[in-house]
């Protein structure tokens, strides 16, 4: 029989613990410009040692040698009293009221489901039907199509009904009058009876009549048919093709459809072309997130033939140590205990924040300067001249860790003479050319797109043909790689691009 005993012992082990300020520094690197603006405004309200200035941040690091001493002092001053008495040690309280920051209030805009629910409630429907309709609307995806089967909607709603019905019947049982109680039971049985799929079909048909046309469909085919019916386009060849030969339509099998409907392949193809007027995702226009505006973090300008990189931080609050609080903090002999700890923590935090923001700025400039040097041909000649570039290459050049470069480039944008680009745009793997030079995968994709844009639609380029054309241009690439890049560009295979 085994016995368990307790032992006490000592052992050594190594652990890497990251300073909380290092975490905050990494977050600052990660923040896009708009987020950083809000963060700095928040810091201004929380740390009394910080204030805004129009001067260069680098000139405001004058207190880095003035770290509070750790020696205790016999005299202790009430820090709160200093604050409330109007900064007798220097400055007036009123001077710093401008630092208050009130964040903007987000205004919620109605999305697709809100709009459909509003329209549904305007119909002449019973409460029971409205409840079912709202459940169906809640299961629509962002494109406006039903994301599950009606049987699943009914099952989920009936589970909820069971709970509600149980509570309602328990309350009705407390009614003392027999006739009144029986009448309440009868009404509850009707109101909270289980839903059926047939009921759901009827309510779904009502939803499918709402705007925008095509919402509430259970498939893309049904959505297009709904839109065509509402457009009174039910007698056309296109309607027949969608209704009876949808899978062949998706696969561009024009000859098979032509034989089935008794028309020529050209007529079928022309009929299919008319379907472009209908929306494949009718709800998307109302389901997208609020519009996100891109503010470039960096600017690249060509000045006297050279590309110069600037930080786009003119709207970023410049920080410095508050003069009034600095005067208070200079008199070290007055502070001990909690007051001294408070001053020390806030002053060190303020100094660190100023340095961290400047470090972020310098790191971004280093990264972008290297990108500009490496990708000069892109700035001069376009996407096809992008060179392969990895995070590791940049990290080695600026002598920082690869993860730091990743944070600096994530969700950051740069305004260039060729437009606004994400910094991630400039990074991609590469292929080798016959001349021994490398070309980026993004540049190869652009070449493939241009070749297909210029092809003869009656004889579209196959992947093998694209390989041959790229080889003539000096680019070595496998057919399967061409197929992968074509798929990533959203371009169909040659047989499906062919026009008859």
> Average of pLDDT values for 41-54?
73
CA atoms within 13 A on the CB side of 217: 23
User: Taking 70 as the threshold, does the pLDDT of residue 327 lie above it?
Assistant: no
Q: Are residues 267 and 132 in the same domain?
A: yes
Q: Are residues 279 and 298 in the same domain?
A: no
Residue 315 CB contacts under 8 Å (≥ 6 apart), including other chains: 37
Helix, strand, coil shares of the chain as percentages rounded to 5? 55, 10, 35
Residue 80 lies in a domain: no
Q: Are residues 144 and 274 in the same domain?
A: yes
Query: Per the structure block, which two tokens stand in for 196?
Result: 């059926």
> Average of pLDDT values for 253-278?
92
Q: Are residues 306 and 269 in the same domain?
A: no
Q: Are residues 417 and 435 in the same domain?
A: no
CATH number of the domain to which 443 belongs: 1.10.10.60
Residue 10 lies in a domain: no
Residue 51's pLDDT band, with cuts at 50, 70 and 90, is: confident
Q: What are phi and psi of 224, to 5 degrees?
A: -65, -40
Rounded Cα gap, residues 208 and 378, in angstroms: 49
Domain housing 462: 430-497
Listed residues 286, 315, 336: the one ending a domain: 286
Q: Are residues 126 and 238 in the same domain?
A: yes
Q: Are residues 331 and 209 in the same domain?
A: no
Residue 283's pLDDT band, with cuts at 50, 70 and 90, is: confident
Residue 435 lies in a domain: yes
Residue 107 lies in a domain: no
Listed residues 381, 410, 427: the one ending a domain: 427
pLDDT digits (tens, 9 = 90+) for 86-138: 333 333 334 333 334 344 444 455 688 889 999 999 998 888 899 899 999 99
Bridge pairing between strands 413-416 and 419-422: antiparallel
pLDDT digits (tens, 9 = 90+) for 85-100: 333 333 333 433 333 4
Rounded Cα gap, residues 52 and 38, in angstroms: 14
Q: Would you say 478 and 467 are in contact if contact means Cβ atoms under 8 Å apart?
A: yes
Q: Are residues 133 and 202 in the same domain?
A: yes
Ordered alpha helix ranges (H), 231-335: 237-244, 246-250, 254-261, 265-273, 284-287, 323-330
Q: Are residues 269 and 121 in the same domain?
A: yes
> Average of pLDDT values for 241-258?
93
Name the residue with higher pLDDT: 319 or 72.
319
Q: What are phi and psi of 142, to 5 degrees?
A: -65, -25
Residue 88 lies in a domain: no
Residue 92 lies in a domain: no
Q: Are residues 137 and 249 in the same domain?
A: yes
Domain count along the chain: 3
Q: What are phi and psi of 134, to 5 degrees?
A: -65, -35
Q: Are residues 368 and 438 in the same domain?
A: no
Q: If you average pLDDT over every residue of the chain, what do you get?
A: 78
Listed residues 263, 286, 309: the one ending a domain: 286
Burial class (CB in 10 A: 0-12, 13-18, 19+), 433: middle
The residue whose two tokens read 């300067």 is 369
Q: What is the pLDDT of residue 249?
A: 93
pLDDT digits (tens, 9 = 90+) for 351-377: 777 788 888 888 889 999 999 999 998
Residue 65 lies in a domain: yes
């Amino acid at each position: 029989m085994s016995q368990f005993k307790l032992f006490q012992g000592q052992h050594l082990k190594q652990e890497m613990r990251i300073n909380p300020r290092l975490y905050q520094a990494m977050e600052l690197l990660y923040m896009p410009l708009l987020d950083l603006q809000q963060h700095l405004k928040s810091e201004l309200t929380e740390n009394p040692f910080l204030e805004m200035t129009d001067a260069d941040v680098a000139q405001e690091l004058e207190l880095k040698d003035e770290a509070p001493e750790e020696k205790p002092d016999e005299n202790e001053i009430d820090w709160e009293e200093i604050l409330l008495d109007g900064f007798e040690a220097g400055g007036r309280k009123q001077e710093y009221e401008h630092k208050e920051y009130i964040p903007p209030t987000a205004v919620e805009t109605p999305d697709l489901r809100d709009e459909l629910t509003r329209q549904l409630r305007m119909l002449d429907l019973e409460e029971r039907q409205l409840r079912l309709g709202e459940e169906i609307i809640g299961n629509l995806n962002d494109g406006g199509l039903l994301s599950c089967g009606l049987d699943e909607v009914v099952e989920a709603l009936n589970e909820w009904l069971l709970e509600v019905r149980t509570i309602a019947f328990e309350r009705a049982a407390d009614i003392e009058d027999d006739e009144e109680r029986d009448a309440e039971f009868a009404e509850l049985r009707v109101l909270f009876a289980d839903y059926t799929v047939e009921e759901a079909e009827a309510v779904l048909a009502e939803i499918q009549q709402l705007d925008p046309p095509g919402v509430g469909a259970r498939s893309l085919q049904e959505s297009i048919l709904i839109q065509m019916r509402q457009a009174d386009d039910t007698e056309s060849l296109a309607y027949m093709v969608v209704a009876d030969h949808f899978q062949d339509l998706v696969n561009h099998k024009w000859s098979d459809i032509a034989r089935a409907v008794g028309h020529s392949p050209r007529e079928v193809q022309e009929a299919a072309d008319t379907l472009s007027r209908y929306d494949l995702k009718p709800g998307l226009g109302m389901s997208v997130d609020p519009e996100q505006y891109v503010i470039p973090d960096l600017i690249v300008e060509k000045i006297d033939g050279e590309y110069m990189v600037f930080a786009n931080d003119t709207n970023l609050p410049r920080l410095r140590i508050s003069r009034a609080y600095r005067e208070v903090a200079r008199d070290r002999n007055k502070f001990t205990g909690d007051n001294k700890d408070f001053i020390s923590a806030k002053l060190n935090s303020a100094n660190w924040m100023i340095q961290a923001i400047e470090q972020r700025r310098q790191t971004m400039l280093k990264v972008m300067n290297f990108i500009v040097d490496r990708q000069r041909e892109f700035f001069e000649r376009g996407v096809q001249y992008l060179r392969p570039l990895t995070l590791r290459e940049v990290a080695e050049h600026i002598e920082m860790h690869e993860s730091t470069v990743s944070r600096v480039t994530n969700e950051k944008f740069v305004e260039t003479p060729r437009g606004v680009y994400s910094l991630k745009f400039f990074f991609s793997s590469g292929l080798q050319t016959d001349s021994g030079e490398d070309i980026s995968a993004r540049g190869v994709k652009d070449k493939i797109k241009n070749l297909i844009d210029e092809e003869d639609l009656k004889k579209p380029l196959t992947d093998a043909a694209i390989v041959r054309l790229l080889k003539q241009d000096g680019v070595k690439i496998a057919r399967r790689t061409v197929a992968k890049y074509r798929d990533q560009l959203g371009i169909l295979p040659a047989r499906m691009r062919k026009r008859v």
